[in-house]
Amino acid sequence: TILNELLEENHSINMDDIIREGNPTLRAMADEISLPIEKEWITLGEKMLEFLRNSQDPVKSEEMGLRGGVGIAAPQLDVSKRIIAVLVPNDDLENPASLIEEILYNPKIIAHSVQKACLKDGEGCLSVDREIQGFVVRYARITVQYTNKDGETKKIKLRGYEAIVVQHEIDHLNGVMFFDHINELEPFKLEKGVLVLE
């Protein structure tokens, strides 16, 4: 879908807008967003977050045929720009306030733990229409610097599930796919000390 259509007032991002494995944009280095952030990138970021909300809504996701998502990166929409959105809900239903709900412009990992971590069930990707098994080993804790939609420079520390999600999204800005991290010969091999997250 071309950018103008993506940005149209009444367009909601759907699976047809998401490019798949083989599209060279997924392997490109995405360009920085210049400041002050132009309106079109604010709009795109908001639509990316709306997609995640819709994808996590049982009714909307069914209606729109969306795969569930907790993160999305602009290159997945064939927009080679350094914009990611994350919506990682906390699983306890008591306080349904989401754990992290943010649009990050020009996100950058400025510090990280030596310790590594991975999701117990491996990872998938909205741009990959096949299951690829294996542990995707990432940093257990990261410090991310980014610009938010109000143009403020923010610095956040992440650990656990949300740290994994943000690393998966930042990888997309650098043309890296989750399966690039999987040990081909021993996909479930774990070095000592790697945290396996439920």
Ligand X SMILES: Cc1nc(NNC(=O)[C@H](CC2CCCC2)CN(O)CO)c(F)c(N2CCN3CCOC[C@@H]3C2)n1
Binding site for ligand X (CB under 6 A): 56, 68-73, 76, 89, 123-127, 164-165, 168-169, 172
Q: Are 61 and 74 in contact (CB under 8 A)?
A: no
The residue sitting closest to Ni ion, measured at its beta carbon, is: 125
For the four alpha carbons of 146, 148, 150 and 154, in that order, the dihedral sign comes to negative
Residue 123 binds which entry of Ni ion, ligand X, none, with Cβ cut-offs from 5 to 8 Å by kind? ligand X
Paired with 119 in beta bridges are 197
- What distance, in Å, lies between the first and last C-alpha atoms of the chain? 36
Q: How many residues belong to the chain?
A: 198
Q: Are 44 and 17 in contact (CB under 8 A)?
A: no
CB closer to ligand X, 28 vs 35 = 28
For residue 195, what is the enclosing H or E element? strand 195-197
Name the binder of 165 from Ni ion, ligand X, none, CB < 5-8 A by kind: ligand X
Residue whose CB is nearest to ligand X in the complex, by number: 68
Q: Is there a catalytic annotation at residue 169?
A: yes
Identified catalytic residue from 62, 169, 184, 191: 169
Among candidate residues 187, 177, 183, the one with its CA nearest the CA of residue 127: 177
69 contact choice in Ni ion, ligand X, none (CB below 5 to 8 Å, kind-dependent)? ligand X
Q: Which CB atom, from 37 or from 124, has the smaller least distance to ligand X?
A: 124
Nearest-approach distance from CB 57 to ligand X, in angstroms? 8
Nearer to ligand X, 9 or 198 (CB): 198
Handedness of CA 52, 2, 123, 166 (dihedral sign): negative
| 66 alpha carbon, distance to own chain's centre | 15
Binding mask 97-126 for Ni ion (x = CB under 5 A): ----------------------------x-
Helix (H), strand (E) at residue 153: strand 153-159
* Minimum CB distance to Ni ion smaller for 118 or for 125: 125
Per partner kind, with CB cut-offs from 5 to 8 A, the member of ligand X, Ni ion, none near residue 68 is: ligand X
Q: Point out the residues that are catalytic.
A: 169
Where do contacts with Ni ion occur on this chain (CB under 5 A)?
125
